[in-house]
Amino acid sequence: MSDLSTFARLDAVAQAELCAKGEVSPAELFDACMARIEALNPLLRAVVTVVDERPPAPKNGPFRGVPFLVKDAMPWPGLRWSVGSRLFAKNIAAQSPPYGAALEASGLVCAGKTALSEFGLLASTETLLEGITHNPWDLSRSATGSSGGSAVAVAAGLVPIAHANDGGGSIRVPASACGLFGFKPSRGRTLGATLASSDFADMTSDHCISRSVRDSALFLSITEDRAANAPVGYVQSPIARRLRIATFTRTIMGGEPTPAVRRAYEDAVALLTDLGHTVEPIAAPATNPDALADAFFIVIAEAISRIVDFVDKTRGVPVQHDELETFTWELVDTFVARGPDALKVARATLAAAARAHVETTRAYDAVLTPTIATEVWPLGYLSPILGREELIRRTSRGIGYTPLHNVAGCPGMSVPLHFPAGGVPIGMHFAAAPGADALLLGLAYELERARPWRDQWAPYSIPALF
């Protein structure tokens, strides 16, 4: 192996073990990471900010010395915090939230920030501020989003693990598109990662995108809010008992997966059956598709409206038209036009959908669906310069499984079980009842053992190219 790929093939736990044994120093891991970013990021555009100099070597922690990247949705002291928007292009963060402090205490070393869609609104990482982030499996395809930069950075071997967050699928969808493991914790499971509050923030979970299940499990153990929940701790082994798993393919918008996705889904059902689990087809939760999509985007629009109002009041100059993308402005304008009852109606719609999901799946240990209903879309398909109605329509076609788990507060995960020859990966999605994070991680370990995916490298990755 060349110098560039020596550490790229190792997950975060393996890199930390080398540090703990004294076989490599944190400085060596960091310098190798920066060399990988310099070599491949100009092509993929996953990383939008890098640190100016090598940070001090951490003295301890389970991830001691491991370089990682932070999604530009979360502040990190001294680094630009743009949230993918021209409005905050020059914003420098002064402090970390409790979540960031826990990451630093674990020994992780921040190398920079990753790209996202503006405010994490769209499922494609294309912004007027940063440009286009490319999928390393097919440069003409989207990395999806909103955590596309984090997924690409891990899939390309730039870092072994990257922070991400998920308000409707933003961890799980990019993980699926890039052939990675993407876990969304239960609501309230982890420490606070935002400095603001809103309904959308309450639906958003912070975690990571990783190549291995153990990296994700360890990451969860260091970010748990132990004052609020019975801790999961570091889950380290496959689940022992056999599960009763519900499954359906109809999306919350009433659609069905494309033939390629259905074939991958049927393969996953066969795998679970071979492993001894009981897989039972059920009817999807009953929802009003149009009302649910509208409610979800109203909640998002309310959060963005708060940001616009805050900037208007604090800087004395209203937010200008060219400081936000077309889609963002249309969301804000629609929310304002709906009047003061819009959020109340949206909350009621989402609460009804959450109840429907819980009631439909109550008798089961887990729920299986595809992660995305279609193959990964081409670049430009979810461009932020398109109109609101068209973007919501296109988004709803592909992102029809994951948002309901944010609404209901459930843990969910995309597992990379299908790698089509010459194509883009297709992930399968599993969800469980709120609080059942350990059950999902145990299932993930079992699936990882049955279908090892760590050595599935994208054509435009460090191990494949160097």
Q: Pick the catalytic residue from 117, 147, 170, 205.
A: 170
Identify the bridge partners of residue 206 per DSSP, sorted by sequence position: 165
Whether 71 is a known active-site residue: answer: yes
Q: What is the mean pLDDT of residues 355-383?
A: 97
The model's pTM:
0.98
The secondary element (H helix, E strand) that includes residue 166 is strand 161-166
For residue 106, the model assigns a pLDDT of: 98
Averaged pLDDT score across all residues of the chain: 96
Q: Residue 455's CB: how many other CB atoms inside 10 A?
A: 8
For residue 274, the model assigns a pLDDT of: 98
The domains of the chain are located at 3-241+418-465
Q: Residue 225's CB: how many other CB atoms inside 10 A?
A: 16
Whether 124 is a known active-site residue: answer: no
Contacts of 430 (CB under 8 A, 6+ apart): 245, 366, 367, 368, 412, 413, 415, 440, 443, 444
For residue 195, the model assigns a pLDDT of: 72
Q: Pick the catalytic residue from 85, 124, 142, 146.
A: 146
Top CATH class, 3-241+418-465: alpha beta
Task: Work out the pLDDT band at 228, boundaries 50, 70, 90.
Answer: confident
The gap from C-alpha 168 to its chain's centroid, in whole angstroms, comes to: 9
Q: Pick the catalytic residue from 5, 71, 150, 212.
A: 71
| Interaxial angle between packed helices 326-338 and 289-315, expressed in degrees from 0 to 180 and rounded to the nearest 10 | 100
Identify the bridge partners of residue 205 per DSSP, sorted by sequence position: 166
The secondary element (H helix, E strand) that includes residue 165 is strand 161-166
Whether 170 is a known active-site residue: answer: yes
Q: What tens digit of pLDDT does each residue of 386-396 get?
A: 999 999 999 99
Rounded Cα distance, 89 and 34, in Å: 23
Q: What tens digit of pLDDT does each residue of 31-78 get?
A: 999 999 999 999 999 999 999 999 999 999 999 999 999 999 999 999
Rounded Cα distance, 310 and 299, in Å: 17
Q: Quote the percentage of the chain above a pLDDT of 70.
A: 100
> Do 141 and 147 contact (CB within 8 A), yes or no?
no
For residue 319, the model assigns a pLDDT of: 98
pLDDT at 1 over 60: no
Rounded Cα distance, 80 and 30, in Å: 20
